[in-house]
């Protein structure tokens, strides 16, 4: 079987949203190690600047509110002015408040949709506007395995991630012959603040953000669209599609996948839930995680 051709990221300019912490930070670090130049955007400029300073001279930081199109456009322009034209955009920023759907406030739902979905839409459109005239570019959208299933306790979050998966598929097909690559990354539960206090599924270990970062870099290097983390999840997903719904739901219950977002340690999640709640006024964009369904 022929090996996929690997393209180097050395010298490439990469913009990452929600890049100050978690998966965003680890991805920036992995790219810089390979010689890329990275711009991280985050609502918390002080933390982004601290991260950039720690990652070294090939990293710059800018303020970014992904829910504001003008802010996003300014971020990409500032990054290009500082480092050069954007070769890769990684739409990573997102939040995940959890709890029973009927108890979720409308404001929480709106904020989640604004950050997790509208932010990706804004970023993807703005990146395409800059990449299409050059006939090259790569857009990486961080979705979730929650974008392939519906998990109790995270209904709106799952809805936003299903939307990101569908958006990525459509944008890829629209631009498949125009030199634009699109990747959709679908991790399981990740050991970040966003994943704190979540119930573990049987037989599936919690990922480290460095593992997801490596998968993102590999996707850029190989132009892979479907990026399951861990890779074994892809095969499991295919098998489950062949099983009737009653069987899939029984398997989910056995694996405790239906408990991942529904039965959480509220004390462990308190700090994150507080930060996510402040998103209504701060548009707080953090790292991405996902859940296995």
188 with 237: CB under 8 angstroms?
no
Residue of 157, 186, 198, 215 with catalytic role: 157
For residue 130, the 8-state DSSP code is H
Interatomic CA distance for residues 250 and 263, integer angstroms: 17
Interatomic CA distance for residues 266 and 257, integer angstroms: 18
Structure tokens at 281: 């006024």
Coil, helix or strand at residue 184 = strand
Is 157 part of the annotated catalytic residue set?
yes
Interatomic CA distance for residues 89 and 17, integer angstroms: 8
Contacts for 25-29 with beta carbons within 8 Å, 24 or more apart? 25/51, 25/55, 25/209, 25/287, 26/209, 26/210, 26/212, 26/213, 27/90, 27/92, 27/212, 27/213, 27/216, 27/217, 28/55, 28/59, 29/55, 29/213
Place of tokens 């829910």: 67
75 with 15: CB under 8 angstroms?
yes
Tell me the residue ranges of DSSP E strands in 56-159.
59-63, 88-91, 137-142
Q: Is the dihedral of CA 250, 268, 48, 157 positive or negative?
A: positive
Please report, for the chain, how many H helices and E strands are present, in that order: 11, 7
Positions marked catalytic: 157
């Amino acid at each position: 079987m022929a090996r996929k051709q690997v393209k180097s990221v050395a010298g490439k300019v990469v913009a990452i949203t929600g890049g100050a912490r978690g998966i965003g930070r680890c991805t920036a670090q992995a790219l810089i190690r390979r010689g890329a130049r990275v711009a991280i955007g985050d609502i918390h400029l002080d933390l982004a600047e601290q991260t950039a300073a720690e990652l070294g001279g090939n990293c710059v930081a800018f303020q970014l509110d992904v829910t504001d199109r003008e802010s996003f456009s300014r971020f990409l322009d500032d990054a290009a002015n500082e480092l050069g034209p954007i070769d890769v955009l990684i739409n990573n920023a997102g939040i995940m408040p959890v709890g029973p759907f009927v108890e979720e406030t409308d404001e929480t739902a709106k904020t989640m949709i604004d950050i997790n979905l509208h932010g990706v839409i804004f970023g993807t459109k703005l990146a395409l506007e800059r990449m299409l005239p050059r006939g090259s570019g790569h857009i990486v959208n961080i979705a979730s395995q929650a974008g392939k299933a519906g998990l109790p306790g995270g209904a709106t979050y799952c809805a936003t991630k299903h939307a990101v998966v569908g958006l990525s598929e459509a944008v890829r097909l629209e631009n498949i012959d125009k030199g634009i690559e699109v990747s959709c990354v679908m991790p399981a539960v990740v050991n970040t603040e966003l994943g704190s206090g979540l119930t573990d599924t049987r037989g599936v270990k919690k990922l480290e953000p460095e593992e997801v970062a490596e998968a993102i870099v590999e996707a850029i290097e190989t132009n892979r669209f479907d990026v399951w983390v861990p890779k074994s999840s892809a095969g499991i997903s295919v098998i489950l599609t062949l099983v009737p719904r009653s069987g899939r739901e029984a398997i989910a219950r056995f694996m405790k996948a239906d408990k991942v977002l529904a039965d959480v340690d509220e004390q462990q999640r308190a700090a994150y839930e507080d930060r996510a709640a402040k998103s209504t006024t701060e548009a707080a964009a953090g790292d991405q995680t996902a859940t296995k369904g």
